[in-house]
């Protein structure tokens, strides 16, 4: 399937939301890659277009056509307009009262949220942050209890001197699929804690997405430990194919070119230190998701990404108003890091 392209009347925010959720994009790209590709698609559209129309902020446009298109999307008709700072702006719905009644909120120009301040200080495009926040919130509501990560990493020796070669799981996955691979706790066959929704090989290793059984005691316990970071390892249970297994005398390692995957466990200490959970869907761990995303997208160190994640997370949740001064200072420092990276 082709990569989505912007529609003529589609705003940047609308297109990014649609593009980020497109099946082709979610199947083929990781979150930070999707942001880059979608952003590039919209930028190309802007460069090709000679029109000066744009969305000034949420549901506020410079052309009547955009306002009418937005009205169709939210379930009203027509448009209304008024002057703002010497220029004419357009909004969806025939009257502003109709718009407020439908959306349940007003649109103001003189008030900025902490989110806007973060965007200013970082000097990054607001649609990227807003789209990701919206997606995270939707995921937390619809996918709480799911997790993602690498159960195995290719071409790297584990603590037992086994090396899984790229493609080792291909035949097994084709034969049985993700649902037949058991999701266990600490390799205990009598402690299943959920199911796997997808398991696939990529260039790095065996990437998995699992769903914990939150209505069971074991599933809830595992979920709490994952959210805290007390449990973040993954380990595979498998049967090697003797005909596709050999011992490398030079490196003193067992090379596994084909294995039958039996189960994948949540473990405290994985045999392969790089086999880790990268995301857990749940409100309490959104800060960890920010940490992973910032580190991947901007090449930050672990300590920098932790500091960035905390600042951004606190800004979005507005947990403690009394600490705003410290927060702003922290974000300003992070802005320097981002700007240094970009230049």
Q: Please write down the HEC assignment for all residues of 157-189.
A: CCCCCEEECCCCCHHHHHHHCHHHCEEEECCEE
Cβ within 8 Å of residue 300, ≥6 positions away? 294, 308, 337, 341
Contact in structure between 88 and 56 (CB atoms under 8 Å): no
Q: At what angle do helices 324-342 and 286-298 cross, to 10 degrees?
A: 30
Six token digits for residue 237: 């249970």
Neighbours of 189 (CB within 10 A): 11
Q: 278 vs 60, 292, 336, CA distance in Å?
A: 37, 7, 27
Three-class DSSP category at 135: helix
Tokens of 229: 């970071």
Catalytic residue among 55, 66, 119, 263: 263
80, 96, 187, 313: which one is catalytic?
A: 187
Note whether 18 and 4 are within 8 A (CB).
yes
Integer Cα distance of 267 and 230 in angstroms: 10
187 part of the active site: yes
Active site residue 17: no
Distance CA 234, CA 277 (A): 7
Is 144 among the residues known to form the active site?
Answer: no
Annotated active-site residue in 39, 152, 172, 235: 235
> What is the per-residue DSSP string for 259-326?
EEEEEEEEESS-SSTT-BEEEE-SGGGHHHHHHHHHHHHH---HHHHHHHHHHHHHHHHT--GGGHHH
Instruction: Provide the annotated active-site residues.
Output: 187, 235, 263
């Amino acid at each position: 399937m082709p990569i989505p392209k912007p529609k003529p009347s589609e705003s940047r925010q609308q297109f990014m939301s649609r593009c980020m959720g497109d099946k082709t994009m979610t199947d083929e790209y990781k979150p930070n890659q999707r942001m880059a590709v979608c952003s590039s698609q919209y930028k190309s559209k802007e460069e090709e277009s000679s029109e000066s129309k744009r969305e000034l902020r949420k549901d506020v446009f410079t052309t009547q056509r955009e306002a009418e298109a937005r009205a169709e999307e939210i379930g009203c008709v027509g448009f209304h307009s008024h002057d703002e700072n010497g220029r004419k702006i357009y909004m969806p719905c025939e009257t502003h009262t109709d718009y407020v009644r439908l959306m349940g909120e007003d649109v103001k120009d003189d008030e900025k949220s902490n989110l806007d301040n973060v965007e200013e200080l970082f000097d990054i495009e607001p649609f990227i942050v807003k789209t990701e926040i919206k997606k995270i919130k939707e995921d937390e509501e619809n996918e709480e209890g799911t997790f993602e990560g690498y159960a195995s990493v290719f071409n790297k020796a584990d603590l037992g001197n086994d090396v899984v070669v790229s493609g080792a799981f291909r035949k097994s996955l084709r034969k049985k699929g993700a649902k037949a691979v058991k999701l266990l706790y600490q390799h205990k066959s009598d402690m299943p804690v959920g199911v796997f929704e997808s398991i696939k090989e990529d260039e790095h290793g065996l990437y998995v997405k699992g769903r914990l059984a939150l209505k069971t005691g074991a599933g809830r316990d595992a979920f709490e430990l994952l959210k805290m970071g007390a449990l973040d390892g993954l380990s595979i249970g498998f049967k090697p194919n003797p005909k596709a297994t050999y011992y490398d005398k030079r490196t003193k390692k067992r090379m596994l070119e084909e294995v039958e995957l039996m189960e994948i466990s949540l473990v405290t200490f994985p045999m392969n230190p790089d086999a880790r959970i990268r995301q857990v869907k749940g409100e309490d761990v959104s800060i960890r998701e920010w940490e992973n995303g910032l580190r991947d997208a901007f090449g930050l160190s672990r300590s920098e990404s932790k500091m960035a994640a905390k600042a951004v997370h606190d800004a979005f949740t507005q947990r403690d108003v009394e600490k705003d001064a410290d927060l702003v200072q922290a974000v300003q420092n992070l802005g320097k890091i981002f700007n240094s990276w970009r230049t």
